[in-house]
Chains A and B, each alone.
Chain A
Amino acid sequence: MNAREVLLQGKNICKSYQQGKKSNSVLHDVNIEIYEDDFTVIMGSSGAGKSTLLYCLSGMDSISDGEVLYRGEEISRYREKQMAALRTKEFGFVFQQTHLVSNLTLYENVAVAAYAGVGRTAKKVQDKAEELLTRMCVGDAAMRFPSQVSGGEAQRAAIARAVINHPSLVFADEPTGALNKSNSEEVLGLLSSLHREGQGIVMVTHDVRAALYGTRILYMEDGRILDELAIGEYEEKDGKAASYQKAREKKITEWLSALHW
């Protein structure tokens, strides 16, 4: 077992949906540990239950059985108010679609997440939001509405929103699912650079190229975690980036092939 501190832990997580009289089971006794400062990638084919697992772990969705512990404290039975506090302080979210509030500017979308929390002055929030938007390369579009920017710009603003409260963990559900190749690379590059600065990330993807940026890959099938692969820190390799990426990709592809993906 890894000696690093376990940040988030799922124990025997089961999730099923009731459809009339039928019960559709999506997660079966899933046991998972998310470590501090890790960039965990959850992969699997469509319908494997990876997004459901992400939402169950983050407290966005309820679980049918089992428990979810954050820093050793069970959060799966949290009331809405406790969960809201956790989301403002500890968790950040990035979704597949650019889920920004449509009638707020990019800047406001980022700032409102900080205002919803407590403890920071308006000036500090303003400075931080501007700094993050600049860093995400959308500083110029800060005062535009989501409908007035590209998908990539909107998703970068969404990342800024996810990290403005310095969360311990950012949950990202297929963050490049709705983006073209160049936008995808930019978004993944940003997530990777945040991770290198110590940001814990849990990302769901079915894209091998996206998985390259992770440090640890979990593979899911039929609501169960089948295997995991530790591939180490993704490094910026100026000059020989292509061959570095190819080598990581090969490693992952071979591992996935062994799992009959």
Chain B
Amino acid sequence: MKYLTLWRAGARRHKSSLAGVFLLLLLISLALGTVLTLWNNSGSYIRSEMRRAGFGDLTAWVHDVPEQTGLEDAVAGLNAVERVESQRVIYADYTIKEQESDSQGQLIPLAIEEDRYRFFSNDLSGYQEKKPEIAPGEMYVSPSMVSMFGLQIGDEINFAIARSGGNFSFQVKGFYEDPFMGSSMIGMKGFLVCEADWKEIQQTIQERGKNALAREGAMLHIFSDDRESVSDLNRMMNENTALSKYTEFIHSEDAIAGFMLILQNAFSGLLIAFVFVLLFVAMVALGHSLSSGIEADTVNMGILKTVGFTTGKLRQIQLMQYLTAIVSGMMAGFVLSVPASRIASDKMITTTGIRVPAKLPFEWILLSDLAVLLLLILFIYCKTGRTSRITPMMAIRGEGLVQLPFVEKTAVCGIKKNALYFRLAIRQLATAKRQYISACIVAVLLVFFASLVGRMDSWLGRDGKGMMDAFNPADHDIGVQVFGELTADEAEELVSSYTGITDSYLLAMPNVSVNGTSYAANVISEPKRFHMMQGKTCQSEDEVVVTEFVAKDMDVKVGDRLMVQGDKGCEEYMVSGIYQCANDMGTNIGMSREGYLKIGQDNPHLWCYHYFLANPSVKAEITEALETAYGGDVHVHENSWPGLYGIISAMQVLVVFMYGMVFVFTLIVTVMTGSKILAAETKDLGIYKAIGITSTKLRFTFALRFFLTAVAGSVIGILLAAVCTDSLVSAVMKLAGISNFASNPGLGEILFPAGVVILLFMGFSYLAAGRIKRVAVTVLMGE
């Protein structure tokens, strides 16, 4: 009972601090619960849906296979293959709202008997109860096309099936969940059409022959006996069957899941890092609250010791007070993370293409919450150790725990008429610096993280150039690939009529097998344009460059040799360097044109002409003009892809979320710290008022102290970000196949996070200092 009485009394006395701790832990638990839910559920959901929908350990996209059944049988006949299932597809370029697709779309017939896909309700808030029927002229698409193209139900999508009037138009009937290609991070997209439409398109392709633009093909879902040896299986298939001859691309389940989850994983990683920063911030605030609480309660604790309370008991009481706030905050955050996960999942559908279940992963959350709780208990226990220094004599003498710190002979920053209030602020800071250290550490952490995200945002750029440069093997303004009768010269002439071409080169992306494993090859006419990281580019025809990921997979380094097989032959090449290209999660190699032609067939349609324009702002007009003039005979792409907008908007959401958290945390920490400092300074405030200094001036002086503290913290935060960002973000970016992240922010971008944090600290401390108005000079009245 006596403990309960003391617990109540302490809770009343420190209610504002405990409320602050409650809020901090609520936000941490909420953010942690939401991130863990989305991270855990998206991973498991994608894999379970892929399995349910019948996708294999490996999926090969093949085209123009003369004997598909024979190929399937040959693959299925391999010892390591359990079975092969196939889905018919037609590859075709498509246009939405006058935007041409970057990758070919895959028209997939929806078989009545199959239960492969799930269909969203029109508002994307759930699923349709009954599998819908698709009428001729209608199609279902992934909801990620909303973010990629601004697509809505009822919009039209045009597919270029054949030249001279061979276009097919479909109206979007609704959205389906595609666990395989649904994410906006994946360029290739599946379109569900009815069997009748698919057959009509197939017939058109067959009838038009050479004039057909679309190609018939299939997705082969290959199930291995041993799921651990997917790369061996890939090699075995390439060596023993004709699969590689017809393969457009081949990806493992892991690679597809990686593509689908690339955005969630990268942002979840960042958010979890941010949660750790917030936890550290909360511990700093908690530490300050505990220390100043003990200092304020020294006399009370001394009295309790005189009546028989031990240090251990007093520490237990303090622990219980703070644990009440911590546990209730964590529980409230835990409960709120259910709707928060639901909301976040709903908001992400148009980017991820899937509806991530909002069911909390109890074991993960419980484990993480327990870890946080244990950490905080340990922290509180350590911080309350000072209680042992309190003696009954302190209570008898009415002494505080902290002795006056003015042992130095000379005073810091003399008090003069000029800049009086600034000098008073400096003096307060210098003499009670321990009180402001927590605020300074918080400023360091918040500025560091805000700078880190700011640097990522600046690297990404408004148009996503940073990301595109990482994904593209070489820079360009516009790429033009010609088909049919159209020649590159004709296309180039049209481009030149808009703006001068300052430079150009050729790039092709055929598939090759490297030491038996399929990879995409970036074949370039000017190898010096590759983004090199190590060694030298592949100038000679017997040299290749590989990404860091391929080098790791193949266990090769600069100077080692690799066997590369194309559709004409196989040759040995030396690895001349490591280059950067995040395409296919970084699993690609680079070759010179001469080097590739030793093993691959030349074909004018293989090459894409990459141009640098004198005036890049006319790219959109050039694209429109080329498409209008040559229709399906030309494919134009810019240094961008529609999925990039999803990333940019997700980045913007992250930045907004982060600044929101910075706002709330700065508010809570400033109010918590500020109220403790003000409580300790009540007497001084009374004295200043008695000599005629107004509350407004005292508030300004108080805010000035936090301003100076935040400035000091911000400088450290900026420096930390400058030193650590690139290596830290590179570690996260490797998940996305980007291995060389280098941010070069402008001065404004460097200073912005610091400016925000400084202003917030100053503004909130000025608000927190509102209670100075209520400090009456009567606090100085004698007993």
Using a CB–CB cutoff of 8 Å, the interface residues on chain A facing chain B are: 51, 55, 60-61, 80-81, 84-89, 93, 95-97, 99-105, 108, 111-113, 115-117, 121-122, 125, 143, 145, 147-148, 161, 173-174, 177
Contact A111 B415 (CB under 8 A): yes
Contact A116 B418 (CB under 8 A): no
B4 contacts partner chain A, Cβ-Cβ < 8 Å = no
- Other A-B contacts than A86-B692, A113-B692, A148-B406, 8 sampled, CB-CB below 8 A, are A51-B782, A60-B777, A84-B693, A95-B782, A104-B427, A112-B415, A112-B424, A122-B417
A145 touches B406 (CB 8 A): yes
The yes or no answer to B653 lying at the interface (CB within 8 A) is no
User: Which of A103, A116, A148, A161 interacts with B693 by CB under 8 Å?
Assistant: A116
Complex: how many Å from CA A83 to CA B267?
Answer: 56
Q: Are B782 and A173 in contact (CB under 8 A)?
A: yes
A103 nearest CB neighbor, chain B only: B431
Residue from B410, B432, B695 within 8 A of A103 (CB atoms): B432
Binds A, one of B8-16, B620-628, B683-691, B707-715: B683-691
Sorted nearest first, the 7 A-B pairs with minimum C-beta distance are: A88-B692, A96-B782, A87-B692, A122-B417, A60-B777, A145-B406, A103-B431
Residues in A with CB closer than 8 Å to B525 are none
Could you tell me if B782 and A60 are in contact, using CB atoms closer than 8 angstroms?
no
Known: A61-B778, A174-B782. A80 touches B695 (CB 8 A): yes
Chain B residues with CB under 8 Å of A148's CB are 406
B747 lies within 8 A of chain A by Cβ: no
In the complex, the answer to whether B415 meets A108 with C-beta atoms within 8 Å is yes
10 A–B contacts, CB within 8 A, in A order = A55-B781, A84-B692, A95-B781, A101-B688, A104-B427, A113-B692, A115-B416, A115-B420, A116-B691, A116-B693
| Contact partners of B418 in chain A: CB under 8 A | 122
When distances are taken between beta carbons in the complex, the residues of chain A under 8 Å from B432 are 103
Tell me, in angstroms, the Cα distance from A155 to B684 when the chains sit together: 16
A60 touches B690 (CB 8 A): yes
Are A99 and B687 within 8 A (Cβ)? Answer: yes
- Among B410, B411, B431, B691, residue most surrounded by chain A Cβ atoms (within 10 Å): B691
Is B776 part of the contact surface with A, judged by Cβ < 8 Å? yes
In angstroms, Cα B687 to Cα A41, docked, is: 23
**Which chain B residues border A145 with CB–CB below 8 Å?**
404, 406, 411
Check A103/B427 contact, CB under 8 A, given A84-B689, A95-B780, A122-B416: yes
B411 close to A105 (CB less than 8 A): yes
Answer whether residue B414 sits at the interface, using C-beta atoms and an 8 A cutoff: yes
Q: Which residues of A contact B431 (CB under 8 A)?
A: 103
Q: How large is the interface on B (under 10, 10 to 19, 20 to 34, 35 or more residues)?
A: 35 or more
Q: How far is the CB of A124 from chain B (nearest CB, A)?
A: 10
CB-contacts of B658-715 with A (<8 A): 683-684, 686-695
Count of inter-chain pairs, beta carbons less than 8 A: 104
Chain B contacts for A87, CB-based, 8 A: 689-692
Q: Does B428 contact A (CB under 8 A)?
A: yes
- Binary contact track B417-445/A, C-beta < 8 Å → 1, others 0: 11010001001100110000000000000
Q: Find out whether the CB atom of A161 lies under 8 angstroms from the CB atom of B691.
A: yes
| A162 vs chain B, min Cβ distance (A) | 9
Closest to B406 in A: A145
- Taking the closest CB of chain B, its distance from the CB of A184, in whole angstroms, is 14
Interface centre among A86, A115, A122, A147 (most CB of B within 10 A): A115
Q: How far is the CB of A165 from chain B (nearest CB, A)?
A: 8
Contact indicator B428/A103 (Cβ below 8 Å): yes
**A55 x B777 contact (CB < 8 A):** yes
Asked whether, in the complex, the Cβ of A104 is within 8 Å of the Cβ of B411, the reply is: yes
Closest to A88 in B: B692
User: Min CB distance, A207 to chain B, in Å?
Assistant: 12
Q: Are A125 and B417 in contact (CB under 8 A)?
A: yes
Q: Are B420 and A112 in contact (CB under 8 A)?
A: yes
Evaluate contact between A104 and B415: CB separation under 8 angstroms.
yes
Among B406, B424, B686, find the residue whose CB has the most chain A CB atoms closer than 10 A: B406
Given contacts A84-B693, A84-B694, contact A99 B780 (CB under 8 A): yes
Q: Are B687 and A100 in contact (CB under 8 A)?
A: yes
- When distances are taken between beta carbons in the complex, the residues of chain B under 8 Å from A96 are 781-783
**Which residues 390-413 of B have a CB within 8 angstroms of A?**
404, 406, 410-411
Nearest residue (CB) in B for A122 is B417
Q: Closest CB-CB distance, A170 to chain B, in whole Å?
A: 12
* A55 partner residues in chain B, CB cutoff 8 A: 777-778, 781
- Alpha-carbon separation in the docked complex, A113 to B688 (Å): 8
Q: List, in ascending order, chain B residues with CB within 8 A of A51's CB.
A: 781-782
Residue on A with the closest CB to B412? A103
Residue in A89, A97, A104, A122 with the greatest tally of chain B CB atoms within 10 Å = A104
**Complex Cα spacing A129 to B202, Å:** 101
Decide if B692 touches A117 in the complex (CB within 8 Å): yes
Expressed in whole angstroms, the Cα–Cα distance for A52 and B96 within the complex equals: 82
* Alpha-carbon distance between A105 and B695 when the two chains are bound, in angstroms: 23
**Cβ B694 vs Cβ A81 within 8 A:** yes
The residue in chain A whose Cβ has the minimal distance to the Cβ of B777 is A60
Contacts of B695 in A (CB 8 A): 80
Interface centre among A108, A122, A177 (most CB of B within 10 A): A108
Q: Which residue of B lies closest to A114 (CB)?
A: B417
| Cβ A115 vs Cβ B415 within 8 A | yes
State A103–B781 Cα separation when bound (angstroms).
21
In the complex, chain B residues whose CB is within 8 Å of the CB of A105: 411
A61–B777 contact, CB under 8 A? yes
A51-B782, A55-B777 as given contacts; A112 in contact with B691, CB under 8 Å? yes
Which residues from chain B contact A116 at a C-beta distance below 8 Å?
420, 688, 691-693
B411 — which chain A residues lie within 8 A by C-beta? Answer: 103-105, 108, 143, 145
CB distance from B12 to the nearest CB of A (A): 15
Q: Which chain A residues border B688 with CB–CB below 8 Å? A: 101, 116
Question: Which among B411, B684, B690, B694 has the highest number of chain A CB atoms within 10 Å?
Answer: B690
Q: Are B686 and A99 neighbours in the complex by a CB distance under 8 Å?
A: yes
Q: Please name all residues of chain A whose beta carbon is closer than 8 Å to the beta carbon of B686 when the two chains form the complex.
A: 99
Query: Known: A88-B691, A113-B692, A117-B692. Contact between A103 and B406, CB under 8 A?
Result: yes
Which interface residue of B416, B773, B781 has the most chain A CB atoms within 10 A?
Answer: B781
Assess whether B691 is in contact with A97, with CB atoms less than 8 Å apart.
no
Q: How far is the CA of A73 from the CA of B432 in the complex (A)?
A: 42
B contact residues around A111 at 8 Å (CB): 415
- When distances are taken between beta carbons in the complex, the residues of chain A under 8 Å from B781 are 51, 55, 95-96, 173
A112 to B424, CA, bound (A): 9
Q: How far is the CA of A87 from the CA of B689 in the complex (A)?
A: 9
Question: What 1/0 flags go to B723-734 for Cβ under 8 Å of A?
Answer: 000000000000
| Inter-chain contacts of A125 with B (CB < 8 A) | 417
A115 to B418, CA, bound (A): 9
Chain A residues in 8 Å Cβ range of B691:
87-88, 93, 112-113, 116, 161
Q: How far is the CA of A108 from the CA of B417 in the complex (A)?
A: 11
Closest CB in chain A relative to B453 CB, distance in Å: 39
Q: Which residues of B contact A161 (CB under 8 A)?
A: 691
Which chain B residues border A84 with CB–CB below 8 Å?
689, 692-694
A240 CB, nearest partner CB in chain B, Å: 34
Q: Determine the residue in chain A with the shortest Cβ distance to B408.
A: A145
Can you name the residue of chain A whose Cβ is closest to the Cβ of B415? A108
- Look across to chain B and name the residue whose beta carbon is closest to the beta carbon of A171: B690
Q: Kindly list chain A residues whose C-beta atoms are within 8 Å of the C-beta of B427.
A: 103-104
Taking CB atoms, residues of chain B closer than 8 Å to A102 are 404, 406, 684
In chain B between 271 and 295, which residues have their CB closer than 8 angstroms to a CB of chain A?
A: none
Most buried by B among A97, A103, A174: A103
Interchain CB contact under 8 A, A147 and B406: yes
**Is A93 touching B690 in the complex (CB atoms < 8 A)?**
yes
From A60, A81, A104, A121, contact of B778 by CB (8 A) = A60
A122 to B417, CA, bound (A): 6
User: In the docked arrangement, what's the CA distance between A161 and B687, Å?
Assistant: 11
